[in-house]
Chain A
Amino acid sequence: MGVIDVIHFKKSFGKKVIHQDVTFSVQKGECLGLIGGSGTGKSVILRSLIGLEKPDSGRVIIDGIDITQMTEPQLLEIRKKVAYAFQNGALFDSMTVFENLAYPLREHFHYSEKEIHERVLSSLAEFGLEGNENIYPGSLSGGMQKRVGLVRAMMMNPQIILYDEPTAGLDPFNTRKIQDLILRLKEKGVTSILVTHDMPTADAVCDKMAMILNGRIEAQGTLSQLDQDSLGVITKFIAGEEL
């Protein structure tokens, strides 16, 4: 049993079946790359891992706890351990960068304002975002918003981080910055899932990959296992061939 276990996960929206039977497991400290074509429901799985979506059937187990039938108040506790880095950062636009980063600290810890101030500023400095604390998200570039979103996700020192296309639409410099950030968190022992179309990033940070096709996990394994499978779907996906 892993830190994250998804078992026979099924999900439909109306008549459209998104997932028929998805099963995978992520061990402690591992980074799983979840890849697949657009509209295959990668983000839906990610959202289900913190209860933002409910599966029609199947189970989602986080750190040994089945969250599938949990109510919203029960899920709030799980979400303190599992951070979600949204694709566009999802920063609160009525708050400054500082207030965005201070938000989880004010909600879940009993730090003094001085401690919060120190923690936020040191996190910003650690990830090369110093000097932006008084800026509103609307004035930041897309890449900066994503990075601030990532830093906010890790403010609570989560055991698990879920990355939803963190490098989509970014230039190589910002992509590299995000890769470094993910690798640094991985070094700290954080378990993670990375949903992405960006294969170089997946290659750089993931320990293993899983590919979703036709509502199922069509292939999964370590990068070396998948490299040897020259006729496999992942190879075809990377090469841009029809699946």
Chain B
Amino acid sequence: MDALPVATLLVEIIRFWGGLGILTGQVLRETFKGKIYWKLVLEQIYQVGYRSLPLILITSGSIGMVMALQFGLGLEKFGGKLYVPKLVAATILREIGPMFTSLMFAARIGAGMASEIGSMMVTQQIDAIRALGTSPIKKIVIPRVLACLFALPVLVAFANIIGNLGSLLVGATELNLDPHFFYLKIMSTASIDDYLSGFGKTFFFAIFVSLPSCYFGLNVKNGAKEVGIATTKAVVVSSILILVGDFFLSKVFWMIAKWV
């Protein structure tokens, strides 16, 4: 790679973090000052939460089933099949549930937000919001951020349940484990620490999806091509932030659990 693309990439990264910082500041300032459009927040919760539910349930159910099958077939060789419920439950609650749900959420919601806001930029609707004496941060960004903060943890809670049910189904049908035993093992393994660790991350993941997606949408200048680019960037950046952030957040939550 020659110097020019590296320099361009660096400038773009600095611009992104600077722009995201400014947007975050505006969102914080305007959230705590003046009114919040709760009707718009509810509309967004419906869009980002309720309408994402089928996708999240199908994905989490499938992942639970695949995990149970893979763990079961692998551990069977060593006579460890009985550990499948424990392993699957802990993995789903701590990592897979929150992370996969957030990644699917980023793909669906991040792309949708960036393209919707980008199209509004191109058609001057964002300018019209400003010209009519209102704030696009209050009308567009804050409702979406709050909706993600409310909806993603709930989606993850559903994903955890359906993921474990999927694993139970495969455990009973493919691994010949007693469903009652499977259920009891899940319940005895799943500690509140596991649950809180996974659940706590979702608030950060909601921010990792909503803010960059709004940022990329708001920075669309010209035409359909830039809307497409913004959409791609929103999904890529949100996914990277979730995956990289997951490592650091896991460490933080482990440390908190040890400390408490």
Contact = CB atoms under 8 A, between A and B. Distances in A.
A112 B135 CA distance: 22
Interface stretch (B4-12, B93-101, B122-130): B122-130
Given A52-B130, A79-B130, A93 B125 contact: yes
A90 B133 contact: no
Given A88-B123, A90-B123, A93-B123, A104 B128 contact: no
B187 to A, nearest CB: 45
Interface string A56-67: 000000000000
A107 B128 contact: no
Contact of A80 (B125, B128, B133): B133
B1 interface: no
Contact of B135 (A76, A86, A87, A152): A76
B201 to A, nearest CB: 32
A103 interface: yes
A34 to B, nearest CB: 17
Contact of B134 (A52, A76, A152): A76
Contacts of A50: 130-131
Nearest to A86: B124
B3 interface: no
Contacts of A108: 133
A136 interface: no
A79 B133 contact: yes
B135 A84 contact: no
Interface string B83-126: 00000000000000000000000000000000000000001110
Contacts of B130: 50, 52, 72, 75, 79
- Scoring B127, B130, B132, B135 by chain A CB atoms within 10 A of each residue's CB, the highest score goes to B132
Nearest to A82: B131
Contacts of B124: 86-88, 90
A103 B133 CA distance: 11
7 contacts: A47-B127, A75-B130, A83-B131, A88-B123, A91-B125, A91-B128, A108-B133
Contact of A107 (B125, B127, B133): B133
B133 A77 contact: yes
B208 to A, nearest CB: 26
Most central of B124, B127, B131 by chain A CB within 10 Å: B131
Interface residues of B, number: 11
A50 B134 CA distance: 12
Interface of A: 47, 50, 52, 72-73, 75-77, 79-80, 83-84, 86-88, 90-93, 103-104, 107-108, 152, 156
A60 to B, nearest CB: 15
Interface of B: 123-125, 127-128, 130-135
A91 B123 CA distance: 8
A90 B134 contact: no
A52 B135 CA distance: 12
Contact of A52 (B125, B127, B133): B127
A242 to B, nearest CB: 29
A107 B135 contact: no
Contacts of B131: 50, 52, 79, 83-84, 86, 90
Contacts of A87: 124
A107 B123 CA distance: 21
Given A72-B130, A75-B130, 14 more contacts: A52-B127, A52-B130, A76-B133, A76-B135, A79-B130, A79-B132, A84-B128, A86-B124, A86-B131, A90-B123, A90-B124, A91-B128, A107-B134, A108-B133
A152 B123 CA distance: 16
A224 to B, nearest CB: 33
Contacts of B127: 47, 52, 84, 86, 90
A196 B125 CA distance: 21
7 nearest CB pairs, A to B: A90-B128, A90-B124, A79-B133, A84-B131, A80-B133, A76-B133, A104-B132
Contacts of B134: 76, 107
A28 to B, nearest CB: 21
Nearest to A76: B133
A214 B132 CA distance: 31
